[in-house]
Amino acid sequence: MRLPLMRREIPTFIALVVGIICIIQFFIPHWPFGRMVDTFADWFTIMQAVAIWLGALNLLKISFQKVTRKKGHDRWYGAVVILSFMLMAITGLLLSGGRRFQMPGTRFDWLYINMFAPLASTMFALLVFFVASASYRAFRARSWEAGLLLVAAFLVMLGRAPVGDSMTGFMPPGYQLSDVASWIMNYPQLAGQRAIMIGIALGVASASLRLILGLERSYLGGQ
Amino acid sequence: MTATNDTATRTVWERLLTIDRRIVFVFVGIALVVPFFLGVSQKMPVSREVRMMADAMERVPDGALVLISTDYDPPTTPELQPMSVVCMKYALKRKWRVVICGLYPMGAVQGNIAWDIAVRDEQFRDRRPVYGTDYVNLGFQSGNEAVIQKMGSDIHSTFTRDYRGTPIGEIPIMRGVTNLGNLDFMVNVSSGYPGTREWVQFGVDRFGLKMVAGNTAVQTTEMTPYVGKQLLGMAGGMRGAAELEQALGFPGKAGKYMVCQSVAHVIVIAFIVIGNIAYFATGRRRRGD
């Protein structure tokens, strides 16, 4: 089905103009291109700020839908999300001195320091238990390559903790486990990483060109 | 008798292969918690990247204008907050004028917390840094790399007000600072996107910022290619934070946490070794030999 003009040609034209000006500005950072790219950056900032609100409202909508469902275990989680959201938003917007809501000593700051930060840190810290359990189950030397990866992982894990140097303290400097870990990171890993980065850069360049030239239109939500 | 023993041995290995994950959790928990209360500390050699970072910071003159961008939120605080704190302590020692900002919504708040910890250090008891003159927090600005791009041409229109709501033009430290080119140095502490990569691409490559970075351990592999040219030094993960504390002469939390990390690494490796032994011990049976 053919998309209406507003939904296809105009966005493609905007992408073409903005993309070309951004490229030109990289080589000629003077008026008018420099000024135009600054304006685009302003628009981008505004759009992203709106997107943050959109995301927050969407989260609320989904949580409300969960709560209003008659069945389902996650309806209580939805209620917790709504209550927490309202608590932080109302405290920040109305009860913490307006623009100065982030300053030390405000009610918002108290909630952030004593509730949000410990909860967020705890959620992330739980990862270590699951990583340990998953490593135990999945990290097997099933092939020669997997064995090589396993040995490299051992050396880096031990070398990145002081216990590695304690274990190889008798070795001359340059041959201790931290040196071996550094060598792995700075040579084989770095070579692989550079190859990946070059590949990604080429991919990004070609994808960007396709977007600018209007060959790639999936971001419009149509074809 | 032999057959019975063989069966019993196989059963043990098979049991080990399907060990309840709660047992792994208990061991890891003990490995993390017990060393924390032992008060033991471990010395460690400073790596080349962290030494480069410390050297680059030493070369920055006293009283320089330095941007510290704290681009992370609470989940990565254990790794990154010690880096921010030690960099801010060093900034206080060298009387740098510090501009804090964040590309993460929580970043600027984390910067504030780190600054407060740094100021409370015994060494700076007599120093009373004045907000607006000695340091400022520009707060969070949405836009990711577009923010950096915009800061390259005009900081005042990028951050119109600081996090307290004061117009930037009224803040003494920001007078005469129009863009990234006016900054003497930059420290970026980041946990992902937007972070070090974006600062390198838009701040360093484009506007010639002199920059060092502190990253999470998982990010280190991605940032290593930038070290040497775009990044004047880098601290990676908890180990990097502990080394940085050592190199800059401010022992702190990261050094203490390293003991827990050491024991946890040993426990995880032990479990992986046991898992592999069990895997090979039961291999013949699984293959039906």
- Looking at residue B1, what is its pLDDT? 45
DSSP-derived letter for residue B288 is T
- Looking at residue B194, what is its pLDDT? 95
Q: Mean pLDDT score of chain A, rounded to an integer? A: 89
Residues of A in contact with B266 (CB under 8 A): 158, 161, 163
- For residues B40 and B32, is the Cβ–Cβ distance under 8 A? no
Question: C-alpha A120: how far from its chain's center?
Answer: 16
Instruction: Say how many Å lie between the first and final Cα of chain A, rounded.
Output: 9
B163 vs A102, A131, A140: nearest CB:
A102
Poorest-pLDDT segment among A161-170, B22-31, B33-42: B33-42
Q: What is the mean pLDDT of residues B177-191?
A: 96
CA distance A190 to B41: 31
Q: What is the mean pLDDT of residues B46-51?
A: 94
Q: What is the mean pLDDT of residues A78-93?
A: 94
- Say what the alpha-carbon torsion angle B240, B241, B244, B248 is, to the nearest 10 degrees: 180
Instruction: Say how many Å lie between the first and final Cα of chain B, rounded.
Output: 21
DSSP B71-131: E--GGGHHHHHHHHHHHHHHHHHTT-EEEEEESSTTHHHHHHHHHHHHHTSGGGTT--PPB
- Whether B259 has a pLDDT exceeding 70, the answer reads yes
What are A32-80's pLDDT values in tens digits? 998 899 899 899 989 998 999 999 999 999 999 999 987 777 888 999 9
Q: What is the mean pLDDT of residues A159-183?
A: 88
| CA-based nearest distance B127→chain A, Å | 19
- Looking at residue B286, what is its pLDDT? 62
- Looking at residue B283, what is its pLDDT? 77
Q: What is the mean pLDDT of residues B114-122?
A: 94
What are A106-137's pLDDT values in tens digits? 999 999 999 999 999 999 999 989 999 998 88
- Looking at residue A11, what is its pLDDT? 87
**Which of B73, B77, B268 would you mutate first to test chain A, the one with the most A CBs within 10 A?**
B268
- Looking at residue A26, what is its pLDDT? 85
User: Is A45 near chain B, with CB under 8 Å?
Assistant: yes
Pick the closest to residue B203 from B173, B226, B170 (CA basis): B226
- Whether B7 has a pLDDT exceeding 70, the answer reads no
Whose tokens are 């934070």? That residue is B241
- Looking at residue B217, what is its pLDDT? 93
Which percentage of chain B shows pLDDT scores above 90?
75
Q: What is the mean pLDDT of residues A21-42?
A: 90
- In this prediction the ipTM stands at 0.86
Q: What is the mean pLDDT of residues A160-179?
A: 88
- Whether B2 has a pLDDT exceeding 70, the answer reads no
| CA-based nearest distance A63→chain B, Å | 22
SS3 (DSSP) at B70: strand
Residues of A in contact with B224 (CB under 8 A): 185-186, 189-190, 193
